[in-house]
């Protein structure tokens, strides 16, 4: 057989094999969690408060804590992140300042989360006297998500063809109308991807959350109260050997909640931008 054709066959095989591995790992991880955790889920598990440090009862306060934390940090980080990205792409000229800002956001995205946690602890919890609270945790996570959201939004906005902008300008639209009605809706899928990545980061964090939001097992009624997220609960249940069954149950709910929040973020952004 022709050498080129053999190469082609090998390449196709390798590509297929890689997809198979990825798919298998994903199914294995999720399958494992669901297999061990689904049995734990019941109405009581979802809606009751934990008893005996989580050995008994449910995880309701941690579900509330997680959603609370994610929603508030998104409320802080999404507008700032998306508007920054608009400014960086549409209103600045290429030059050293833009390069510096871009380098800074890229570096920020790579900083380990515990460093944000330490900053949040000393700045929000102690210096601003916000204490261990949903607000301190949300601010810290918002800072952490910001670079991810800015970068993803920037890429998405940059990939909107200039032909759309010129077409809009030529109809007499102002720059802001063009951005709001043509550029942002077109860039939306990319922006949402960035937000979902940010959510993933926020939901999964443990150490910075413990440092800034505490690990109280009560339902947080206001943003000034401490709370525990599902990830933190899971971490404590497993690392302190409290209950592996409950840990798997929590993990299962966590996966479902993440998927739900992703759908919600998608829906809300669409509603907000395409009016």
Q: Residues 16, 79, 112, 167: which binds another protein (CB under 8 A)?
A: 167
- Contact flag: residue 181 with another protein (CB under 8 A): yes
- The C-alpha angle 117, 146, 215, rounded to 5 degrees, equals 30
Other beta carbons within 10 Å of 162: 7
- The token pair at 217 is 């097992």
**Touching another protein, residues 74-103 (CB under 8 A):** 93
Q: Residues 43, 96, 163, 271: which binds another protein (CB under 8 A)?
A: 163
- Contact flag: residue 174 with another protein (CB under 8 A): yes
Pick the stretch among 14-22, 48-56, 160-168, 248-256 that binds another protein (CB under 8 A): 160-168
Distances (CA, A) of 177 to 87, 129, 143, 169: 14, 41, 29, 9
- The token pair at 71 is 């929603």
How many residues at the interface with another protein, by CB under 8 A?
Answer: 19
- Contact flag: residue 5 with another protein (CB under 8 A): no
**Touching another protein, residues 214-273 (CB under 8 A):** none
Distances (CA, A) of 179 to 79, 163, 187, 196: 15, 13, 10, 22
- Contact flag: residue 164 with another protein (CB under 8 A): yes
Longest dimension (CA), the chain: 74
Q: Residues 170, 222, 241, 271: which binds another protein (CB under 8 A)?
A: 170
Q: Which residues bind another protein (CB under 8 A)?
A: 93, 161, 163-174, 177, 181-182, 185-186
């Amino acid at each position: 057989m022709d050498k080129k054709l053999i190469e082609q066959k090998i390449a196709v095989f390798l590509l297929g094999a890689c997809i198979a591995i990825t798919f298998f790992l994903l199914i294995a991880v999720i399958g494992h969690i669901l297999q061990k955790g689904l049995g734990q889920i019941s109405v009581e598990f979802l809606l009751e408060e934990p008893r005996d440090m989580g050995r008994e009862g449910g995880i309701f306060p941690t579900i509330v804590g997680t959603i609370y934390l994610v929603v508030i940090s998104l409320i802080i980080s999404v507008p700032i992140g998306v508007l920054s990205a608009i400014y960086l792409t549409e209103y600045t000229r290429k030059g050293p300042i833009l390069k510096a800002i871009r380098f800074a956001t890229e570096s920020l995205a790579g900083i380990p989360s515990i460093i944000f946690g330490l900053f949040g602890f000393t700045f929000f919890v102690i210096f601003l006297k916000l204490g261990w609270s949903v607000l301190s945790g949300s601010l810290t996570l918002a800072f952490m998500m910001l670079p991810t959201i800015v970068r993803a939004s920037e890429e998405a906005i940059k990939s909107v063809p200039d032909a759309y902008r010129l077409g809009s300008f030529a109809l007499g639209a102002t720059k802001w109308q063009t951005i709001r009605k043509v550029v942002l809706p077109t860039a939306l899928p990319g922006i949402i991807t960035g937000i979902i990545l940010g959510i993933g980061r926020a939901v999964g964090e443990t150490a910075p959350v413990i440092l800034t939001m505490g690990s109280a097992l009560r339902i947080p009624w206001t943003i000034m109260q401490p709370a525990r997220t599902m990830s933190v609960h899971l971490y404590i249940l497993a690392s302190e050997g409290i209950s592996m069954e409950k840990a798997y149950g929590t993990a299962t709910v966590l996966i479902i909640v993440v998927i739900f929040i992703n759908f919600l973020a998608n829906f809300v952004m669409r509603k907000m931008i395409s009016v």
